[in-house]
Amino acid sequence: MKLLLTNDDGIQAEGLKKLAEMATKFGDVIIIAPNHECSAMSQRITLRDSMKLQRVDYPVAGITAYSLNGTPADCIKVALHHLKLRPDFVFSGMNHGFNMGYDIAYSGTCSAAFEAAMNGISAIAFSRDLGDNYEVFDSYMLDITQSILVKAPLKNGIWNINFPSCPLEECNGYLSDVAVAKVQFYKDRYIEEKQDDGSVLLTSNGYPSDPDLVPEGTDVWGLTHNYVTVGSVKCDVLN
């Protein structure tokens, strides 16, 4: 199997390295990832600026890796239309922070997966909670990924997998076919700093919703109750 990996946290991100280590168990891996953080860029692409594509050494044996000073969606486009790659699957992530509910729409991680799907390539977006504990990921990742790879291709969307970062003994297992919660989990709030010229500087400082108000069985409910969540995210432009 040929696998193409990207992310939105940048090529040096620990989550990408963990994902790459797992991906090598399934086949040949090529990475094309942004050379800087591109969180919350959605499916933005670069049209009027040049992008530097550079071969880089990567700390996982046997992987060919490139950095690109572009967005996650750019990485997929360059891989497919410049390097002429045709992978069997695209893995995007592993994002530092959940991608669930309406927040999926802002995600560079999920949008890279959608870019692949728009080009007829099956894709999985991987995300995990903030924190340094990878016990749940290490325990569940291989089996869950394997179960998706053997399914019939998903024609009208992407797979979206999220992992809590709690200790393994606190994880309640995993939920399959979860629905995307119809909420924006991180509520908008801004810190205001007044300037001498009369303007204000605004810094985003969102806060989480009350998980008990979210319907049971959705991605937000599952993740806030320490479940791994596995589901598909549909896109009407795909068929």
Region 109-121: mean pLDDT is 96
**Which band of pLDDT confidence, cut at 50, 70 and 90, is reported for residue 152?**
confident
Q: What is the dihedral of CA 180, 140, 125, 128, to 10 degrees?
A: 80
Q: What pLDDT is stored for residue 181 in this prediction?
A: 94
Region 126-133: mean pLDDT is 93
Q: What pLDDT is stored for residue 239 in this prediction?
A: 65
Rounded to 10°, the helix 108-118/72-81 angle is 30
Residue 62 to residues 21, 28, 187, Cα–Cα distance (Å): 10, 8, 42
pLDDT digits (tens, 9 = 90+) for 81-101: 999 999 999 999 999 999 999
pLDDT digits (tens, 9 = 90+) for 15-60: 999 999 999 999 999 999 999 999 998 999 999 999 999 999 999 9
Q: What is the rounded average pLDDT for all residues in the chain?
A: 94
- The percent of residues in the chain predicted with pLDDT above 90, rounded, is 87
* Res. 237: pLDDT tops 80: no
Q: What pLDDT is stored for residue 29 in this prediction?
A: 98
Q: What pLDDT is stored for residue 117 in this prediction?
A: 96
- The percent of residues in the chain predicted with pLDDT above 70, rounded, is 100
* Res. 238: pLDDT tops 80: no
Domains assigned to the chain: 2-179+214-234 (3.40.1210.10)
Region 174-182: mean pLDDT is 95
**Which band of pLDDT confidence, cut at 50, 70 and 90, is reported for residue 224?**
very high
**Which band of pLDDT confidence, cut at 50, 70 and 90, is reported for residue 209?**
confident
Q: Could you tell me how many residues make up the chain?
A: 239
Cβ burial, residue 127 (10 Å; 0-12/13-18/19+):
buried
Q: What is the DSSP string of the chain?
A: -EEEEE-SS-TT-HHHHHHHHHHTTTSEEEEEEESS--TT-TT---SSS---EEEE--SSTT-EEEEESS-HHHHHHHHHHTS----SEEEEEEEES---GGGGGG-HHHHHHHHHHHTT-EEEEEEE-SSS--HHHHHHHHHHHHHHHTSPP-SSEEEEEEE--S-GGG---EESSPBPPSS-SEE--EEEEE-TTS-EEEEE--EE--GGGSPTTBHHHHHHTT-EEEEEEE-TT--
Q: Which token pair is 2?
A: 């040929």
pLDDT digits (tens, 9 = 90+) for 195-208: 999 999 999 988 88
Tokens 């999220």 belong to 162
